[in-house]
Structure 1
Amino acid sequence: MLLNKRLSIFYFINQIKLDVIAIAIYAVLAGTFDHFWILKSVSIPLAVSSFVGTLLALLLAFRTSQSYERWWEARTVWGAIVNDSRTLIRQVQQFLPNNESGQTYIRVFTNQQIIWCHALSQSLRKLPFSGVVAEYVQQNDINTLNLPNYLLSRHTQLLAKATEEFNIDPNRQVQIDATITKLCDSMGRCERIKNTVFPRSYSVMLHFIIYVLMTILPFGLEDNSKFVEVALTFVIPVLFICIERTAILMQDPFENKPTDTPTTTLSRTIESNLREMTNGTVVPPTPAQPESYYLM
């Protein structure tokens, strides 16, 4: 998550620097030579540029809306994961007996749920397993392609074993199983967002239209000042490029970028909450001194 209310300007400029350089070079050349030689006689009605700009604005509005919808859905799913993780541990605490054997089951459920959250976060970003996840995999010699799904299976196996050992009421078993099902649904929604690629043709079309607007714009400006013409030819396309890049940054919320859904931070929050619920240990959910302007 961002620690400030604004994204680092240097990060954003780095995302659009190649387009800005290309537009700046064209603006200087077109704005200068539009007043000389054969280009001086070339005139494109400003209404054409206005039509292209209006079309581009509508397409970018739709693109930005769809990108934000994907980002917000990812954040909503992880909000549900936080709530369902707390609910799961609260249910096993309430439904299992308050003895040493019951507490053992609760601790196993808690550890598995913490590891599940971190494993889901790291697998969505396609990062190597680290921390408690790597330690768990090594200790249990696990070899699976989908560790989060494997851990949910361990949840159901553990629930079946506890039901048999403690003769848990079927209604209570169904409630715990329903919570595990909700976690599985959330995992599936995250995987759908991750694996559904935003249509590349749409991005290419928008980029092409921006450059078409940039190309025809200086020939429709009736201004005797070269500096004003160069400035307008530069500023207008760059504004559209900024909007397009903003949509691109939001459309994939699990790519290990500053604008991601903060799954690591949320996983730490879940870990802190669950450990406090089970043994009273307060674990800081985030590092005391972050190294950057954002936390993943």
Structure 2
Amino acid sequence: MITKQIFPLTYIFSEIKISLLTVTLIGVVVDIFPIFFPGFLPDIPISIATTLGIAISILISFKVNQSYDRWWEARKVWGEIVNDSRTLVLQLKMYMDPSDPIIKTIAYRQIAWCYSLGQSLRKTDPLKNLGGLVSELELKQLQSQKNVPLGILNFQIDPIRKQFDEGKLDGFSRLQLEGTLARLTASMGKCERIKNTVFPTTYRKGLHLAIYLFVIFLAMSEPLRLFVVLEVFILVIISMVFFFLEKAAFRLQDPFENQPTDTPVTSIARTIDINLRQLLDETGIPQPIESNDFYVM
């Protein structure tokens, strides 16, 4: 997630450099072509480029709104994960003997689940950094799981059932814990839905093509028949706004792609890690993940 209002220009240009190079080539070709083929390229009324520019602005505005909705939904889901993770440990301390070691076991599994879920959503190793949070036997069992976070949640069932069977947990308390686990499962499903629902690629390709057409019509319009360097500079500046907004919307629509614009799932998982260890009255609590340059993951 980008955390600073001002971020490097290098990041902007790295995102749209190919598009800007294409615009530069279009400007140079449109300006030089009439020298070798006089009268071949007609003068286009500026109103055509203006109308197309307005249409593009409306389309980009719509895409930015839709993409932000997806990003914001992902952020809200992870906010729910924070709340339910804290609730799980608080419920265990409330309903069970606070000195029972099973509380720590379940809390550590929940920390592992948060890290693993974020890593699996980003298509990285879901078992990374789980050492010390789950047992060696559980870690070995998870290696054969296609959905590692679901496997970790599955581990949480047996100790709760055992506590209930042994009479250490009453029916009401069990229902409350089951409700918390159900909400965590639902949150995982929401994240997977966002991850696996592809934003229509034809929409982006059509919008990208429309911006190039806008550049061509603008370059061929009479008011922009200027010195080639100045004309190309104007084309690049105007198109840069469209391309950057379009690229920003493209990044936001996929909030789990290991990009600076991601939902900061690793940072949130570390926050949960810190919170749950504090509830367990532990020392040696890890530090929060700091912003890396202009973003935090």
TM-score, normalising length from structure 1?
A: 0.90
Contact 1:276 1:282 in 2 (8 A): no
Q: 2:260 aligns with which of 242, 258, 261?
A: 258
The 1:184–1:72 alpha-carbon spacing in structure 2 relative to 1, beyond 3 Å, is same
Alignment correspondent of 1:106: 103
Q: Which stretch of the first structure deviates more once superposed, 113-122 or 22-31?
A: 22-31
Q: 1:229 aligns with which of 215, 227, 231?
A: 231
Alignment correspondent of 1:30: 30
- The structural deviation recorded for 1:40 is 7.2
SS in structure 1 of the partner of residue 146 of structure 2: coil
Alignment correspondent of 1:125: 122
Contact 1:33 1:39 in 2 (8 A): no
SS in structure 2 of the partner of residue 269 of structure 1: helix
SS in structure 1 of the partner of residue 68 of structure 2: helix
Alignment correspondent of 1:185: 186
Alignment correspondent of 1:148: 149
Q: How does 1:153-164 map to 2 (within 5 A)?
A: 153-164=154-165
Matched, 1:69 2:66: no
Alignment correspondent of 1:284: 286
Contact 1:96 1:166 in 2 (8 A): no
Q: Deviations over 1:29-63 (max 9, x none)?
A: 32344577424761212221112111111111111
Matched length: 292
For structure 1, the 5+ residue unaligned runs are: none
Matched, 1:270 2:278: no
Q: Which stretch of the first structure deviates more once superposed, 87-96 or 219-228?
A: 219-228
4+ aligned runs moved over 6 Å, structure 1 = none
SS in structure 1 of the partner of residue 88 of structure 2: helix
| Alpha-carbon distance in 1 for matches of 2:146, 2:270 | 24
Q: One-letter code of the match for 1:76?
A: K
Alignment correspondent of 1:58: 58
- The structural deviation recorded for 1:294 is 3.0
| Alpha-carbon distance in 2 for matches of 1:138, 1:3 | 37
TM-score, normalising length from structure 2?
A: 0.90
- The structural deviation recorded for 1:220 is 1.9
| Alpha-carbon distance in 2 for matches of 1:246, 1:190 | 20
| Alpha-carbon distance in 2 for matches of 1:245, 1:135 | 38
Note the aligned Cα RMSD (angstroms).
Answer: 2.2
Q: 2:113 aligns with which of 116, 132, 138?
A: 116
Q: Which stretch of the first structure deviates more once superposed, 66-75 or 129-138?
A: 129-138
Q: One-letter code of the match for 2:151?
A: Y
